[in-house]
């Protein structure tokens, strides 16, 4: 159904609904007859479902996901517990891409996007953090940073606390900037602990 038709349908519904005022409602008023079960169901349908259809103009979506991994060290400055020490994780990233439609032409016909494109892009982002110490800006003394660099340790400074939650937003933003229609990103810090950032 076209969005215009849906809007018109909702407009007609609104006219009818407004004619029944809550102010005049009482159990012994003629208006009570309006509140039959089918009417309530219809009202709920229009408010919960049709609105979404009107605003977003979609009912169903296609999704694809891909994964990448990287191994890196981090620590949480200002955290009281063992996570304040430098330690490592095998981080797993799961990116979910969405689209209302599929490509209609070319070698990607019938796809949202080529799996290899999204996989290689995500792998590139993961590789940029792999086998490095990831630290939050301002969390290490300058002389410490210099000493570590003198030892040729690979380090990445980020402007956020390097938690799974922050990494999920980091990858969501990076992939979105590269024009992938990202729905969500999951980042596993351990096999059983993960964070999700989604729109
Ligand atoms: Zn950790």
Task: Respond yes or no: is residue 83 known to be catalytic.
Answer: yes
Q: With pLDDT > 90 as the criterion, what percentage of the chain qualifies?
A: 70
Q: How far is the CA of 74 from the centre of ligand 1 (A)?
A: 6
Q: How far is the CA of 89 from the centre of ligand 1 (A)?
A: 6
Q: How far is the CA of 161 from the centre of ligand 1 (A)?
A: 11
- Yes or no: say if 56 and 29 are a contact pair by the CB < 8 Å rule: no
- The correct CATH number of 62-198 out of 1.20.1250.20, 3.40.1280.10, 3.65.10.10, 3.30.479.10 is 3.30.479.10
Give the count of beta carbons closer than 10 Å to the beta carbon of residue 79: 12
- Yes or no: say if 78 and 49 are a contact pair by the CB < 8 Å rule: no
- Yes or no: say if 144 and 163 are a contact pair by the CB < 8 Å rule: no
pLDDT tens per residue across span 64-92: 999 999 999 999 999 999 999 999 999 99
pLDDT tops 50 at residue 25 = no
- Nearest CA among 182, 186, 64 for reference residue 115: 64
pLDDT tops 90 at residue 28 = no
Task: Respond yes or no: is residue 151 known to be catalytic.
Answer: no
Q: How far is the CA of 87 from the centre of ligand 1 (A)?
A: 6
Overall average pLDDT of the 108-120 stretch: 96
Dihedral of alpha carbons 27, 33, 38, 39, sign: negative
Q: Which of 74, 89, 136, 189 is catalytic?
A: 189
Q: Which of 131, 146, 157, 198 is catalytic?
A: 131
Q: Which of 83, 98, 108, 166 is catalytic?
A: 83
Q: How far is the CA of 185 from the centre of ligand 1 (A)?
A: 18
pLDDT score recorded for residue 66: 98
For residue 26, what pLDDT band results from cuts at 50, 70 and 90? very low
Residues in the chain: 199
Phi, psi of 146 (to 5 degrees): -60, -45
pLDDT tens per residue across span 140-165: 999 999 999 999 999 999 999 999 99
pLDDT score recorded for residue 4: 53
Report yes or no on whether pTM surpasses 0.85: no
pLDDT tops 80 at residue 168 = yes
Q: How far is the CA of 4 from the centre of ligand 1 (A)?
A: 51
Q: With pLDDT > 70 as the criterion, what percentage of the chain qualifies?
A: 70
**Boundaries of every domain in the chain:** 3-56, 62-198
Task: Respond yes or no: is residue 166 known to be catalytic.
Answer: no
């Amino acid at each position: 159904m076209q969005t215009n038709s849906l809007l018109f349908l909702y407009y007609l519904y609104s006219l009818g609904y407004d004619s029944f005022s809550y102010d005049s409602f009482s159990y012994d008023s003629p208006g009570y007859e309006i509140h039959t079960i089918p009417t309530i169901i219809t009202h709920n349908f229009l408010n919960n479902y049709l609105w979404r259809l009107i605003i977003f103009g979609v009912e169903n979506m296609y999704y694809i996901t891909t994964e990448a991994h990287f191994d890196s060290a981090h620590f949480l400055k200002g955290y009281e517990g063992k996570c304040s020490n430098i330690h490592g994780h095998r981080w797993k990233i799961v990116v979910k891409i969405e689209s209302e439609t599929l490509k209609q032409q070319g070698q990607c016909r019938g796809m949202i996007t080529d799996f290899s494109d999204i996989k290689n892009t995500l792998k590139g982002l993961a590789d940029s953090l792999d086998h490095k110490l990831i630290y939050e800006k301002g969390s290490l003394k300058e002389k410490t940073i210099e000493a570590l660099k003198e030892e040729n340790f690979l380090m990445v400074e980020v402007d956020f606390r390097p938690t799974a939650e922050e990494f999920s937003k980091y990858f969501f933003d990076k992939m979105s900037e590269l024009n992938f229609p990202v729905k969500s990103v999951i980042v596993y810090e351990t096999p059983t602990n993960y964070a999700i950032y989604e729109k």
